[in-house]
Amino acid sequence: MSFIVNLAYFAAAILFIIGLKQMASPVTARRGIIWAGWGMVIATVVTFLHPQVIGFVNYLLIIAGIGIGGGLAWYTGKRVPMTDMPQMIALYNGMGGGAAAGIGIVALMGSYSMSWTIQFIAVAGVIIGSVAFSGSLIAFGKLQGLIKKSLRFDMQQKINLGVLGATVLLGIIIAFSGAEVNGTLLFLFVLLALAFGVLMTIPIGGADMPVVISLYNALTGLAVGLKGLVLDNAALMIAGIVVGAAGTLLTQLMAKAMNRPLTNVLFSSFGETPSGDQEEVSGSMKEIEASDAGVMMAFANKVIIVPGYGMAVAQAQHKIWELTQLLQERDVQVKFAIHPVAGRMPGHMNVLLAEAGVPYDVIYDLDEINNEFKTADVAVVIGANDVVNPVARSNPESPIYGMPILNADEAKNVIVIKRGKGAGFSGVENHLFYADNTRMLYGDGQKVAGQLISSIKEMG
Is 33 a binding residue for other proteins by CB under 8 A? The answer is yes
Shortest CB 338 distance to other proteins, Å:
7
Using CB under 8 A as the binding rule, whether residue 262 contacts other proteins is answered as no
- Asked if 355 and 82 count as a contact pair (C-beta separation under 8 A), the reply is yes
Phi-psi region of 302 (alpha: psi -120 to 50; beta: other; left: phi over 0): beta
How many residues sit in the footprint of other proteins (CB under 8 A)? 121
- Is 154 a residue of the active site? no
Of the residues 361, 367, 377, 386, only one is catalytic, namely 386
Report the site for other proteins in 66-125 (rule: CB under 8 A).
Answer: 66-74, 76-78, 80, 82, 85-86, 88-89, 91-93, 95-96, 98-103, 105-107, 109-111
| Stretch of 26-34, 145-153, 193-201, 449-457 lying at the interface with other proteins (CB under 8 A) | 26-34
Site for other proteins in 407-446 (CB under 8 A): none
Report if residue 58 touches other proteins, rule: CB under 8 A: yes
Q: How far is CA 312 from CA 5, 248, 350, 458, in A?
A: 44, 26, 11, 27
Cβ–Cβ under 8 Å, residues 213 and 139: yes
CB of 408 to other proteins, least distance (A): 18
Does 165 interact with other proteins (rule: CB under 8 A)? Answer: no
Residues linked to residue 303 through DSSP beta bridges, in sequence order: 334, 378
What is d(CA 230, CA 232) in angstroms, rounded to the nearest whole number? 6
Q: Identify the residue among 124, 213, 382, 453 touching other proteins (CB under 8 A).
A: 213
Closer residue to other proteins in complex, CB, 347/402: 347
State the Cα–Cα distance between residues 125 and 358, nearest whole angstrom: 42
Is 225 a residue that touches other proteins (CB under 8 A)? yes
Q: Could you give the CA distance from residue 302 to residue 373 in angstroms, rounded to a whole number? A: 9
What is d(CA 136, CA 121) in angstroms, rounded to the nearest whole number?
A: 22
Which residue in 1, 57, 153, 282 binds other proteins (CB under 8 A)?
57
Chain residues 283-322 in contact with other proteins, contact rule CB under 8 A: none
Q: How far is the CB of 264 from other proteins (least distance, A)?
A: 20
Among the listed residues 2, 7, 30, 375, the single contact to other proteins using CB under 8 A: 30
Would you give the distance in Å from CA 22 to the centre of its chain?
21
Distance separating alpha carbons of residues 428 and 422, to the nearest angstrom? 9
Chain centroid to CA 55: 40
Among positions 340-369, residues that touch other proteins (CB under 8 A) are: 340, 345-348, 350-351, 354-355, 357-361, 363, 365
**Shortest distance, position 178 Cβ to other proteins, whole Å:** 17
Nearer to other proteins, 171 or 346 (CB): 346
Is the CB of 341 or the CB of 416 nearer to other proteins?
341
3-state secondary structure of 117: helix
Tell the smallest beta-carbon distance from residue 183 to other proteins (Å): 8
* 104 vs 294, beta carbon nearer other proteins: 104
Q: Which residues contact 259 (CB under 8 A, 6 or more apart)?
A: 402, 403, 404
CB of 186 to other proteins, least distance (A): 10
Q: Are 240 and 225 in contact (CB under 8 A)?
A: yes
> By CB under 8 A, which span of 64-72, 139-147, 406-414, 437-445 interacts with other proteins?
64-72
Of 141, 181, 183, 188, nearest to 163 by C-alpha is 188
* Nearest-angstrom CA–CA distance, 452 and 313: 19
Which residue number, 43 or 192, has a Cβ lying nearer to other proteins? Answer: 43
185 or 234, CB closer to other proteins?
Answer: 234
Q: Is the CB of 251 or the CB of 446 nearer to other proteins?
A: 251
CA distances from 383 to 54, 276, 314, 389 (A): 55, 25, 9, 13
Sheet strands (E) in 252-402 = 302-307, 333-338, 363-365, 378-382
Catalytic residues: 386
